[in-house]
Amino acid sequence: MNRFAELLDRLAFEPSRNGKLRLMLEYFRGVPDPERGFALAALTGALSFQHAKSGLIRALISERADPVLFDLSYDFVGDLSETVALMWPAPLHAAQDDAESPTLTAVVKTLSTLGKAELPAQLARWLDHLDETGRWALLKLVTGAMRIGVSARLAKTAVAMLGDKEPDEIELLWPGLAPPYLDLFAWIEGRAGKPATGDPVPFRPVMLSHAIEETDFAALDPAQYYAEWKWDGIRVQAVAASRPNGTRVTRLYSRTGEDISASFPDLADALAFDGAIDGELLIMREGRVQSFNVLQQRLNRKTVTAKLLNEFPAHLRAYDLLVEDDKDLREQPLSLRRARLEALIARLHEPRIDLSPQISFGDWATLARARSDPASAGAGPDADAIEGVMLKRRDSAYLPGRPKGLWWKWKRDPFVVDAVLMYAQRGHGKRSSYYSDYTFGVWTAGENGDELVPVGKAYFGFTDAELLEIDRFVRRNTIERFGPVREVVHEREQGLVFEVAFEGLQRSTRHKSGLAMRFPRISRLRWDKPPRDADRLETLEAILMKIEEGGRLTSATARP
Alpha carbons 491 and 497: distance in angstroms, whole number: 11
Which CB sits closer to other proteins, 148 or 271? 148
Only one of the segments 64-72, 455-463, 504-512, 525-533 lies at the binding site for other proteins (rule: CB under 8 A); that segment is 64-72
Which CB sits closer to other proteins, 86 or 249? 86
The enclosing H or E element of 54 equals helix 54-62
Q: Is 482 helix (H, G, I), strand (E, B) or coil?
A: strand
Which CB sits closer to other proteins, 9 or 350? 9
**Nearest distance, CB of residue 155 and other proteins, angstroms:** 17
Sheet strands (E) in 338-394: 353-355, 386-393
For β-strands 314-324 and 275-285, DSSP reports them as: antiparallel
User: Is 76 one of the binding residues for other proteins (CB under 8 A)?
Assistant: yes
**Nearest distance, CB of residue 241 and other proteins, angstroms:** 44
Q: Among 73, 103, 143, 151, which residue sits at the site for other proteins (rule: CB under 8 A)?
A: 73
User: Is 400 one of the binding residues for other proteins (CB under 8 A)?
Assistant: no
Among residue numbers 16 through 35, which ones bind other proteins (CB under 8 A)?
A: 19, 22-23, 26
Among residue numbers 88 through 147, which ones bind other proteins (CB under 8 A)?
A: 131-132
Task: Give backbone dihedrals phi and psi of 497, rounded to 5 degrees, phi first.
Answer: -100, 130
Q: Respond yes or no on whether the N-terminal peptide bond of residue 179 is cis (omega within 30° of 0).
A: no
Alpha carbons 173 and 167: distance in angstroms, whole number: 10
User: Is 65 one of the binding residues for other proteins (CB under 8 A)?
Assistant: yes
**Is-contact 374 289, C-beta < 8 A?**
no
User: Is 15 one of the binding residues for other proteins (CB under 8 A)?
Assistant: yes
User: Is 296 one of the binding residues for other proteins (CB under 8 A)?
Assistant: no
Name every residue whose Cβ is closer than 8 Å to that of residue 269 and which is 6 or more positions away in sequence.
250
For other proteins, how many residues bind (rule: CB under 8 A)?
34
Which CB sits closer to other proteins, 73 or 477? 73
**Nearest distance, CB of residue 80 and other proteins, angstroms:** 12
The enclosing H or E element of 458 equals strand 449-458
Which CB sits closer to other proteins, 25 or 56? 25
User: Is 481 one of the binding residues for other proteins (CB under 8 A)?
Assistant: yes
User: Is 14 one of the binding residues for other proteins (CB under 8 A)?
Assistant: yes
For β-strands 485-488 and 415-426, DSSP reports them as: antiparallel
**Nearest distance, CB of residue 124 and other proteins, angstroms:** 17
The enclosing H or E element of 425 equals strand 415-426
Alpha carbons 406 and 391: distance in angstroms, whole number: 8
User: Is 483 one of the binding residues for other proteins (CB under 8 A)?
Assistant: yes
Return the CA Rg of the chain: 27
For β-strands 314-324 and 353-355, DSSP reports them as: parallel
Alpha carbons 505 and 541: distance in angstroms, whole number: 9
Which CB sits closer to other proteins, 21 or 517? 21
User: Is 262 one of the binding residues for other proteins (CB under 8 A)?
Assistant: no
Only one of the segments 38-46, 74-82, 205-213, 496-504 lies at the binding site for other proteins (rule: CB under 8 A); that segment is 74-82
Among residue numbers 422 through 441, which ones bind other proteins (CB under 8 A)?
A: 426, 428-430, 432-433
Beta bridge partners of 521: 501
**Is-contact 418 499, C-beta < 8 A?**
yes
Which CB sits closer to other proteins, 371 or 486? 486
Sheet strands (E) in 102-195: none
Q: Which residues make up the interface to other proteins (CB under 8 A)?
A: 10, 12-15, 19, 22-23, 26, 65-66, 68-69, 72-73, 76-79, 82-83, 86-87, 131-132, 426, 428-430, 432-433, 481, 483-484
